Chains A and B, each alone.
Chain A
Amino acid sequence: MNIKEIKELIEIVSQHGITDLEVERSGVKVRIRKEGPLAAGSSQAQPGSAFAAAQTHGSAHAIEGPRVFVPAEPGPKNDEEGLAQVRSPIVGTFYRAPNPDAEPFVKTGDSVEPGQVLCIIEAMKLMNEIEAEVNGEVVKIYAENGEPVEFGQALFGIRLSKKL
Chain B
Amino acid sequence: MRAGCAMPLDLLLPEFIRPLLKSRQLGKVIHHFQLTSSTNDVARQLAEQGAPEGVVVLAEEQTCGRGRAGRAWHSERSAGIYASILLRPAIKPREAPTLTLAAAVAVAEAIEQACGLHADIKWPNDLLLGGRKCCGILSEMHAETDKIRSVVVGIGINVNHSGFPAELGQLATSLRIECKRVCSRIDLLCALLERFERLYEDLQQGRRAAVLHRWVARSSFAVGKSLTLDLGSGQQIEGKTAGLSETGHLKIELADGRVEEFLSGEIVAWR
Tell me the bound Cα distance from A74 to B92 in angstroms.
12
Contact with B along A118-134 (1 / 0, CB 8 A): 00001111111100000
A89 to B94 Cα, complex, angstroms: 6
A151 CA to B247 CA in the complex, in Å? 13
- Count of CB-CB pairs between chains A and B under 8 Å: 93
Q: Are A124 and B69 in contact (CB under 8 A)?
A: no
| Stretch binding the partner chain, chosen from A14-22, A32-40, A56-64, A96-104 | A96-104
What residues on A are CB-neighbors of B99 within 8 Å? 126
B14 within 8 A of A: no
Interface size class of B (residues with CB under 8 A): 35 or more
Which of B69, B145, B263 sits near A92, CB closer than 8 Å?
B263
Asked if B137 is at the interface (CB within 8 A of a chain A CB), the reply is yes
B99 to chain A, nearest CB (A): 7
Please tell me if B138 contacts chain A, counting CB pairs below 8 Å.
yes
Residues of B near A124 (CB, < 8 A) are 97-98, 100-101, 124-125, 248-249, 263-264
Asked whether, in the complex, the Cβ of B140 is within 8 Å of the Cβ of A74, the reply is no
Q: Is the CB of A126 within 8 A of B100?
A: yes
Residue B29, interface by CB 8 Å = no
In the bound complex, CA of A75 to CA of B139 (Å): 22
- Chain A binding surface, main DSSP class: loop
Contact B100 A125 (CB under 8 A): yes
In the complex, which range does the number of interface residues on chain A fall in? 20 to 34
- Chain A residue with Cβ nearest B68: A125
CA distance A75 to B93 in the complex (A): 12
Is A87 at the interface (CB under 8 A from chain B)?
yes
- Which B residues are CB-close (under 8 A) to A75? 144-146
B122 to chain A, nearest CB (A): 11
Contacts A126-B100, A146-B231 given; does A89 touch B263 at CB 8 Å: no
Contact partners of B169 in chain A: CB under 8 A? none
Q: Check B263–A125 contact: CB distance below 8 A.
A: no
Q: Please report A residues at the B interface, Cβ cutoff 8 Å.
A: 73-75, 87, 89-93, 98-102, 122-129, 145-148, 151
What are 18 A-B pairs with beta-carbon distances under 8 A? Answer: A87-B145, A89-B146, A90-B97, A91-B247, A91-B263, A93-B232, A93-B263, A93-B264, A99-B69, A125-B124, A125-B125, A125-B137, A125-B264, A126-B97, A126-B141, A127-B141, A128-B93, A128-B140
Q: Other than A90-B94, A124-B124, A124-B125, give 5 A-B pairs with Cβ distance below 8 A.
A: A74-B146, A125-B125, A126-B141, A128-B93, A128-B143
